[in-house]
Amino acid sequence: MRNYTRQACSLLLVGLALLAGCKPQQEVTTLRLAHALDQEHVVHKAMVLMAERLEHYSNGSMRIEIYSGGQLGNERELVELLQIGSLAMTKVSASSVESFVPQMRVFSVPYIFNDNAHLWRVLNGKTGTELLMALQSARLRGLGYYDAGSRSFYSTNTEIHTPADLRGKKFRVLASQTAVRMVEELGGAATPVDWGELYTALQQGVVDGAENNPPSFYLSRHYELSKYYTLDEHTSVPDVLIVSLP
């Protein structure tokens, strides 16, 4: 009886395979998603999970092809690729779309949120939705936010305890007018540098320090050059997942 059952199951599987082979070949829609993060970053892993879920729920008819580590350009260049239709999706810092949508400047205002719970009440509420919809003015559409943590200062040669410790020092900031003004108001010299070039900039003394969240500080190995990290959490700038509009 067992041999008969095994044979019957084998014949059934062969029959299903033959039937599947007789069906027209399924067309697969591939969406290209690019970002500047390391593949070990938790946000990259979240996007990998999103790609897996899309392929599953679409029964293989849709897939996301992910280009990490700035392979296709820096964040501004990725947004521009979206606008001309050369890219389907990207994940960028909210600060990187300030020049396209001025409303996003709000996230670079220091100490605007009381805590992480306050931040997510805003992001998941009416204001967060309105900010995502505001991207449509730039022919973009915001799908949601990723938690990018809170940003803090780190330095190669100076402990940062008060604003006075920033005076005369060059700190790398995002390409954000608000972030530049924040550092300048604290007495430092704000220097926008592409993320992929920051390690070398720290190494060569082009900048004396930078500001970012702990995971990015660790995964970028900036701790090898910056011995001082001050957990001041001055801003909480989320990452934004955006797609292009036709």
DSSP string for 98-159: TTT-GGGGGGGSTT-SSSHHHHHHHHTSHHHHHHHHHGGGGTEEEEEEE----EEEEESS--
When pLDDT is averaged across residues 110-124 and rounded to a whole number, the result is 94
* pLDDT at residue 25, rounded to an integer: 59
* pLDDT at residue 14, rounded to an integer: 41
pTM, entire model: 0.79
217 has a pLDDT exceeding 80: yes
90 has a pLDDT exceeding 70: yes
Q: What is the mean pLDDT of the chain?
A: 88
Task: Name the band, by pLDDT with cuts 50, 70 and 90, for residue 176.
Answer: confident
When pLDDT is averaged across residues 127-155 and rounded to a whole number, the result is 95
When pLDDT is averaged across residues 10-23 and rounded to a whole number, the result is 42
Query: CA 216 to CA 39: how far, in whole Å?
Result: 11
Q: Which tens digit of pLDDT belongs to each residue from 29-59? A: 999 999 999 899 889 999 999 999 999 999 9
Taken in order of first residue, the domains within the chain and their CATH numbers are 27-92 (no CATH), 151-235 (3.40.190.10)
* pLDDT at residue 18, rounded to an integer: 42
- Quick check: helix, strand or coil at residue 199? helix
- Give the whole-number percent of the chain exceeding pLDDT 70: 89
